[in-house]
Structure 1
């Protein structure tokens, strides 16, 4: 193979790599087609994974399959990077089961190929299959193998403790956790409210030099904040060189969550001054702060700014917060108006906030409306029946209270053990 030829192949491969990395997948595939059609160019194993990556990104299974056929003809399947790209392409374009079939046919599987298949399983929520495959690895798992499993488990509602078990197993096996591992395990720490584990991760990241990474710092601010450790959250936040929307929002939410509304709103002001664009989560924190402090007018003002100044999409949680703050302030009919005009699905949270406030303010008319609707939305939630009945009883309308209790019995709804008919509203 002449050096001139080598040069051409090299410059084409460089260009192809740049197209793929920059997400110019159409250009990548037409360049690949041109390279493939040049009889003088003997394509090497580096080219095929790039083409397959673009096939996966553009969802072109037939083109992917023809690239696959070509790799079989040129005996490149024994190259683990080519094999890995084929498994990945089938998983993303066709089906995970076809990817598995390909995986099973590959004779020389290195850790990269195993990880590709494990990652496909975790991304498509087939966690039990991912775990099964992990346990059957015939090569030593590396950080990526563990990371896929930890991230998959952390996302599961009840997977936090399993994720932690895997993190400990990773440490025990001598595989060093990296940035991706730490980002994956943090949600599990929040799920378990494991403050000492968050501190351990924080310490480890500082000792190993991972610490200054903005994603990790934001993740730590969020984790500390949600576990109620405002001092540490603030410490990490203050030491960040660049604060992204996650870091700012986490600080706002942390203070709002712990009833420090003034500080939460001050931080939001600083965020605007720092020219960081708030998102829906930021405003949820702001509205919750208003709600805890009973700042109904302010909540309406922020709500308007969210829609008008920032053109953000308002979700049912934002509406539920607004209903809550108006209800707590005794502005029940305004809250009811908000519910009636909501363009999104009205959640039980919003109606529940209204019903609870109706009881506190002895508002019977609205209580009947809210109570009835809540019973329709959540027919098996005993608390709604209990609350409505206690509102009737409180107003001296014992027959209606009795009717609600009867209905609850007929529907087979059981009150929680230990819950009385008189409910304390926080």
Structure 2
């Protein structure tokens, strides 16, 4: 598909994340201090809440769907409503649109605008569905002969995370405290995390709720769109707590998402197949067609006050299980899914060292520190470091991007239990 041209000139630049082909959904603080729904176009935000208030956008049989300034209620309307809204906004912003002069007043400059959580997170489930990542981590802790658990090639492994600690890009992240146990120590201590890490992931946002099991095809129809996701991880806390039930406090500090939800419709031209299966999947997990997306991803690390170094470049197509497969598996027990549920893909790594999506892998558990462009080294994150995730699907003369997903590491507070 070629570039769709807009009368918002910045949207036509080949390096712009937000052309007319994209139209991602976000929430921003308006001049009146209230959250408004907006659609990114070029370097501007189309104020959808104001358009609705003035009667220029109206969802059939729905009143003030965008009144509260987030996209949760709209997402619940389903694919037909999503398509109708997308068609309306595309017509409004297309080059040569008759109403363009009247719509200029509904554009807000993106620069300097405070972005907010674009939806209410109902539940958060994180998966462990990247084969390169799982193999690397398993090799470190169990050796190459036992790198993957026996179930890994048959089932999308996951755990339930914390919806309450999901934050929008730009939110600072405080280094957590927790139980740490050194390998040669008899007992743990309570101390700040010393091995704080990032995880490069994609998040799938559920729009349509479900009751009972759904197929992979039905699951794909339920997904409204995708965000970049950094699932911050306290590796030393995790090492002590994860057996027998898996991550708990080590993943509860924060999960940062990009402020823009890229609609699934914008990613359709970039669908691709999951990798060849090493073991046949059970029928309920088999995909009816391409369910992954070709999305180039990168991670930048900037020490406080210094230039950024890109420490990883990879692609979402490296995942072994798609979000649709993960969602279908999530429902097999009869587990209901709700509007606003978010599924983390799991860390996205490629086969090469430069394509690894976490410092745990990049530095091989801290044994091989990475050298930044500043000359400094990192085994794990230090206070003041800013992490930035970026991603875009690359089209013919345009890109469908997610914007930046950033977070800065703040020092741990003083012992919270010494009062």
TM-score class normalised by the smaller sequence: under 0.3
Point out which structure has higher relative CO (alpha carbons under 8 A, 6+ apart): 2
TM-score, length basis structure 2 = 0.25
Structure (1/2) with the larger helix percentage: 1
TM-score, length basis structure 1 = 0.25
Structure (1/2) with the larger strand percentage: 2
